[in-house]
Structure 1
Amino acid sequence: MTRHFSRFERSTDLQRRAHRLIPGGAHTYAKGDDQYPVLAPGFIERGAGCHVFDVEGNRYIEYGMGNRAVGLGHGYQPVVEAAMQAMRDGCNFTRPARLEVDCAEAFLDLIGTAEMVKFCKDGSDATSGAVRLARAYTGRDMIACCGDHPFFSTDDWFIGTTAMHAGIPDAIRQLTATFRYNDLESVASLFARYPGRIAALILEPARNEEPRDDFLHEVKRLCHANGALFILDEMITGFRWHARGAQHIYGIEPDLSCFGKALANGFSVSALAGKREYMRLGGLDHIDKPRVFLLSTTHGAETHALAAAIATMRIYRDEPVIAHIERQGSRLAEGVADAARRHGVSAQVATVGRPNCLAYTTFDADGRPSQAFRTLFLQETIRRGVLMPSLVVGYTHDDTAIDETLEAIDGALEIYARALEDGVDRHLVGRPSQLVYRAYNQPPAIAAAVT
Structure 2
Amino acid sequence: MTSASYPSATSDSGTDIDLTRSNQVQARLHDLVPGGAHTYARGSDQYPEHMAPVLERGRGARVWDVDGNEYVEYGMGLRSVTLGHAYEPVDAAVRDVVGRGVNFSRPHRLELAAAEDFLGLVPGADMVKFCKNGSDATTAALKLARAATGRDMVAIADQPFFSTDDWFIGRTAMNAGIPDAVRQATARFTYNDLDSLRALFDAHPGRIAAVFMEAATALGDPAPGFLEGVRELCTAQGAVLVFDEMITGFRWSAHGAQGVYGVTPDLSTWGKAMGNGFPVSALAGRRELMELGGLRTDAERVFLLSTTHGPETVGLTAFRAVVEAYRRDDPVATMRRQGARLAAAVNEVVAAAGLAEHVDVAGHPACLVFRTRDAQGAPSQGMRTVFLAELLRRGVLGQSFVISAAHTDDDVEQTVAAVAGALPAYERALTDGVDTVLEGRPVAPALRAHAAPRRL
TM-score, with structure 1 as normaliser: 0.97
- Does residue 263 of the first structure (1) align with residue 274 of the second (2)? yes
SS of the equivalent of 1:143 reads strand
Partner of 2:4: none
Deviations 1:304-363 (A, max 9, x none): 110000000111122011110000000111011101111111111112211111011101
- Does residue 244 of the first structure (1) align with residue 239 of the second (2)? no
| 1:6 CA drift (Å) | 2.8
- Does residue 446 of the first structure (1) align with residue 430 of the second (2)? no
1:268 maps to amino acid = P
1:267 maps to amino acid = F
Partner of 1:216: 227
Residues in 2 aligned to 1:383 and 1:101: alpha-carbon distance in whole angstroms: 48
- Does residue 325 of the first structure (1) align with residue 335 of the second (2)? yes
Deviations 1:185-225 (A, max 9, x none): 11000000000000000000111111113111101111111
Counterparts of residues 416-431 of structure 1 (less than 5 Å):
416-431=426-441
Residues 386 and 405, structure 1, Cα contact 8 Å, conserved in 2: yes
- Does residue 125 of the first structure (1) align with residue 136 of the second (2)? yes
- The correspondence for 2:210, drawn from 196, 200, 203, is 200
Runs of 4+ in 1 over 3 A off after TM superposition: 1-5
Partner of 1:74: 85
Partner of 2:67: 56
SS of the equivalent of 1:390 reads coil
- The correspondence for 1:169, drawn from 159, 176, 179, is 179
Residues 339 and 413, structure 1, Cα contact 8 Å, conserved in 2: no
Residues 339 and 368, structure 2, Cα contact 8 Å, conserved in 1: yes
Partner of 1:143: 154
Residues 4 and 385, structure 1, Cα contact 8 Å, conserved in 2: no
2:73 maps to amino acid = E
Residues 140 and 197, structure 1, Cα contact 8 Å, conserved in 2: yes
Residues in 1 aligned to 2:80 and 2:154: alpha-carbon distance in whole angstroms: 26
Residues 249 and 255, structure 2, Cα contact 8 Å, conserved in 1: yes
- Does residue 394 of the first structure (1) align with residue 404 of the second (2)? yes
Residues 47 and 388, structure 2, Cα contact 8 Å, conserved in 1: yes
Residues in 2 aligned to 1:371 and 1:16: alpha-carbon distance in whole angstroms: 23
What residue ranges of structure 2 are gaps of 5+ in the alignment?
1-10
Residues in 1 aligned to 2:448 and 2:155: alpha-carbon distance in whole angstroms: 22
Residues in 2 aligned to 1:311 and 1:62: alpha-carbon distance in whole angstroms: 23
- The correspondence for 1:291, drawn from 298, 301, 323, is 301
2:33 maps to amino acid = I
- Does residue 83 of the first structure (1) align with residue 89 of the second (2)? no
Residues in 2 aligned to 1:81 and 1:294: alpha-carbon distance in whole angstroms: 32
Deviations 1:274-328 (A, max 9, x none): 01011111111211x1100011000001101100000001111220111100000
Counterparts of residues 327-346 of structure 1 (less than 5 Å):
327-346=337-356
| 1:41 CA drift (Å) | 3.6
Residues in 2 aligned to 1:179 and 1:113: alpha-carbon distance in whole angstroms: 25
Residues in 1 aligned to 2:181 and 2:169: alpha-carbon distance in whole angstroms: 13
TM-score, with structure 2 as normaliser: 0.96
Residues 340 and 413, structure 1, Cα contact 8 Å, conserved in 2: yes
- The correspondence for 1:365, drawn from 348, 369, 375, is 375
| 1:5 CA drift (Å) | 4.1
Residues 18 and 67, structure 2, Cα contact 8 Å, conserved in 1: no
Residues in 2 aligned to 1:6 and 1:315: alpha-carbon distance in whole angstroms: 36
Residues 6 and 39, structure 1, Cα contact 8 Å, conserved in 2: no
Deviations 1:55-98 (A, max 9, x none): 10100000000000011000101001111111110000000111
| 1:111 CA drift (Å) | 1.9
User: What's the C-alpha RMSD, in Å, of the aligned pairs?
Assistant: 1.2
1:133 maps to amino acid = L
- The correspondence for 1:93, drawn from 104, 111, 114, is 104
| 1:3 CA drift (Å) | 4.4
2:412 maps to amino acid = I
- The correspondence for 2:419, drawn from 409, 416, 423, is 409
| 1:16 CA drift (Å) | 1.6
Residues in 1 aligned to 2:327 and 2:357: alpha-carbon distance in whole angstroms: 39
- The correspondence for 1:110, drawn from 108, 115, 121, is 121
Residues in 2 aligned to 1:354 and 1:296: alpha-carbon distance in whole angstroms: 35
- The correspondence for 1:190, drawn from 181, 185, 200, is 200
| 1:367 CA drift (Å) | 1.1
| 1:418 CA drift (Å) | 2.1
Partner of 1:40: 51
SS of the equivalent of 1:446 reads coil
Partner of 2:3: none
| 1:39 CA drift (Å) | 4.6
Residues in 2 aligned to 1:380 and 1:145: alpha-carbon distance in whole angstroms: 37
Residues 243 and 317, structure 1, Cα contact 8 Å, conserved in 2: no
1:379 maps to amino acid = A
Residues 35 and 434, structure 1, Cα contact 8 Å, conserved in 2: yes
Residues in 2 aligned to 1:231 and 1:365: alpha-carbon distance in whole angstroms: 40
